[in-house]
Structure 1
Amino acid sequence: MDDTKDLKDSKKLISDIQAQYPRFSKGQKLIAQYILSNYDKVAFMTACKLGDTVGVSESTVVRFANALGYSGYPKLQAALQELIKNKLTTVQRVEMAKEYSDDYTILNKVLKSDMDNIKTTLEEIDHKAFEDSANRLLKARKIYILGMRSSFTIAQYLGFYLDIILDNVHIIRMDMGDAFEQIVRIDENDVIIAISFPRYSKKSYQIVNYAKEKGAHIISLTDSLFAPVASLADNTLLVKSNMASFVDSLVPALSIVNALIVAVGMKEKDDIKEYFDDLETIWDRYSVYE
C-alpha cells in the first residue's frame, strides 16, 4: 500500500489490526493491543512515545506500521487521526495537548502545525474543483454561505469580500431566524458554500441536504471526504487540518478562502475598481479614516 492510500481505508484500520493480530511479532502485538484500547491517544503520539509507552523500540513501531501496509508511522498516525477526529470531545483535545511544556513550545508547535497544514493543502487540493468553484460563483444568481460555530468566522470573512465583488451574497446566520427560512427560495441557479470542520454540525448537513434537494450547486470547504457535507458536494475543497490542540485551526481554511476571493475578484477587476473608487469618495467625504 503506497502513500496515496485511500481515506476510506482508515475506517477499516481497526478491523485490519484485529485480523492481522495472530501474525504479529510479540512486540507488534503489544502495540496492537495498546492501539485497540487507546487509538484516540495513539493518533497524537510520536513513534518514540508509543514505543516507550508499550515497552518496544521505535523501529518496532515503524515495522508495525509497515506490516499494516503503510509506508511509515506518520501514515498510520494520519489514518488514526482521520478515524477519530470527529469523535474527540473538547476534554480529550485538552488532554492531548497536555504535553505542551511551556509557552514557547506552544507557540512553536501551533505555528508549525499551521504551516504544515497549509503546505499539505496546497499540494493536495483539487485544482479543477477550485477553478470550477470560482466560475460557479460568478455565474450564480445568489450565493449562500454557511458556517456553523467556529466556521462562522470563515463564512463572515468570505461573505464580506464576495459581497464587495458580486453583490448577491447571503451569509446564513443563526441569529437571524431559522436557517431554512433564509434559503427557502434557493434553486438550481444558486450556489451554497458549506464550511464544515470537526466536530461536524448536524444542522449544517441538514441545511446543505435541503439545498441539494432544491437543485443548488454545492461547494464544500472541509477537511475530509468523510465530512457529511462532502458527500453532498459538487465541488469539494479539501483543507488539511491536523489538530494541535483543543482549538480548531482556521488558518488553512482562511488561506483557501483568500485564494477563492482573489480568483473571483480578478475575473471582475474592472467592476471592483469602480466600486472602490466610489468607496474612496465616500470615505473621504465622511472622514471614515484618519
Structure 2
Amino acid sequence: MESKTFTGKEIVLYARSISPSLANKERRVAQFIANNYEVLAESTISDVAKHLKISEATITKVCKKLQCSGYLQLKKSIKAYIENTHKSESYEEYSDFRKEDSNTLIAEKVLINAMLALQETLDIFNYDAFNKACEIFNNKNRNNKIILVGSGGSSVICEDFQHKLLKIGIVSHVYKDSHMQLMFTSLIDEGDIVLGVSHSGTTQHIVNVIKAAKDRGAHTISVTNYMNSEITKVAEVNLVSTAQNTPITGENAAARIVQLTILDALYTNLAIKGSEEYSESLIKTSDVVKDYRY
C-alpha cells in the first residue's frame, strides 16, 4: 500500500489508523481528516489551518504521509469518495447510542459497527504481511515454540487462536501475566514464533516481549488496530485491523471481532496448506469431543 495512491476511503481509514503515532499537531490534522472528511471536502487548506490553528505546511506534511502529493490531491480524492458513495456507508449513523434507542436498535447498531469494521479492514488489509505470517507458520520446524501474548481483552484473542491451533495439533502457549511473558521470552530460541496482540499497539510489556523475542532471533508478529504504533516498529510482521471508536463499546470491541477474523484466516491457511498431520489432528480433536454433545 505504500507504493500506490490511496483512494478517498483509504485516506480516511489510514488517517484514523496512523493518528496515534503522530506528533500533536499532525495528529490533529489526521483526526480531522478521519472524522470531518465531509467538511474537508468543501474547505480550502487555509480554512483547515485556521480551524486547527496550525500551519499549512503541517497539513501538507500529513497529506504526503497519506500518499498524496498535497492538499489538493487529498481533497479531490475525498470528494470523489463522498460523491461515489452518497454517504451510503456513513459510519456516524450507527456510532452513537442513545438512551431512547430500542433494544432492537442497540443490537442493530452493535452488529453494524462490527460489519463496518470488517469491511473497512478489508479495504486496507496488507496481504503482503498476511502472506509473510502464513509463510512463518507454514515453515516452522517441529521443535519451534509458539508463544501468544496479550493483556485484558487481547488475551482472549490469544486464547481463541491457541484453541484453533490445537485443533490441528499445533501446541502453543498463552501468557497473560507480564512477568510470565518476560520469563518465557528469556527461554526463546531462534526460529520460535511470538505473536503479540495489542489493540493500541502501545501496551508496554507486550511491546517489550516482542522486542526481546526479536533480539533472540524469533519470528515476531503483531496484531493491532494502529499502523505505525510502537508494536509495529519492533515486530517483523504486522497484521492491522481498523475500527472506529464508539462512546460506549469503545473501538476495541469491533476491532476484537476483526482481529479474531484475521487470525481465523491465518489458521485456515495452516489447516488447508499445512502437512497431512494437521488434517489428521483435526479429525482426532473433532472426534474426541463428539461424545460430550447432545
> Where on the TM-score scale, by shorter chain, does this alignment land: which range?
0.5 to 0.7
Q: Is the 8 A contact 1:146 1:195 kept in 2?
A: yes
Give the direction of change, closer, same or farther, for the CA distance of 1:223–1:14 in structure 2 (3 Å limit): same
Structure 1 stretch 246-255 or stretch 143-152: which is displaced more?
246-255
| Aligned-pair CA distance for 1:253 | 0.9
User: For structure 1, which runs of at least 5 residues remain unmatched after alignment?
Assistant: 19-34, 48-58, 76-95
Structure 1 stretch 3-12 or stretch 134-143: which is displaced more?
3-12
| Aligned-pair CA distance for 1:131 | 1.4
| Aligned positions, number | 235
AA in 2 matched with 1:63: E
TM-score by length of 1: 0.67
| Aligned-pair CA distance for 1:146 | 1.2
AA in 2 matched with 1:146: V
Partner of 1:211: 213
After superposition, the C-alpha distances for 1:31-58 in whole angstroms (9 at most, x for unaligned) are xxxx9xxx7xx799667xxxxxxxxxxx
Q: Is the 8 A contact 2:201 2:229 kept in 1?
A: no
Partner of 2:160: 157
Q: Is the 8 A contact 2:18 2:229 kept in 1?
A: no
Partner of 2:195: 193
Partner of 1:32: none
**Distance in 2 between residues matched to 1:212 and 1:9, nearest whole Å:** 23
Partner secondary structure for residue 292 of structure 2: coil
Partner of 2:259: 253
Q: Is the 8 A contact 2:225 2:243 kept in 1?
A: yes
Partner secondary structure for residue 178 of structure 1: helix
Give the direction of change, closer, same or farther, for the CA distance of 1:225–1:112 in structure 2 (3 Å limit): same
**Distance in 1 between residues matched to 2:36 and 2:105, nearest whole Å:** 16
Partner secondary structure for residue 243 of structure 1: coil
Partner of 2:58: none
Corresponding position: 1:237 with 2:216 = no
AA in 2 matched with 1:162: L
AA in 2 matched with 1:289: R
Partner of 1:122: 122
Partner of 1:14: 25
Partner of 1:288: 292
Considering only aligned residues, what root-mean-square deviation do their CA atoms show, in Å? 3.6
Partner of 1:28: none
Partner of 1:271: 277
TM-score by length of 2: 0.66
| Aligned-pair CA distance for 1:64 | 3.1
| Aligned-pair CA distance for 1:147 | 1.4
Partner secondary structure for residue 262 of structure 2: helix
| Aligned-pair CA distance for 1:14 | 2.9
**Distance in 1 between residues matched to 2:152 and 2:247, nearest whole Å:** 17
Q: Is the 8 A contact 1:220 1:229 kept in 2?
A: yes
**Distance in 2 between residues matched to 1:268 and 1:241, nearest whole Å:** 31
| Aligned-pair CA distance for 1:256 | 0.7
Give the direction of change, closer, same or farther, for the CA distance of 1:12–1:203 in structure 2 (3 Å limit): closer
Structure 1 stretch 193-202 or stretch 64-73: which is displaced more?
64-73
User: For structure 2, which runs of at least 5 residues remain unmatched after alignment?
Assistant: 49-70, 82-94
| Aligned-pair CA distance for 1:133 | 0.5
The runs of 4+ residues in structure 1 deviating greater than 6 Å are: 42-47
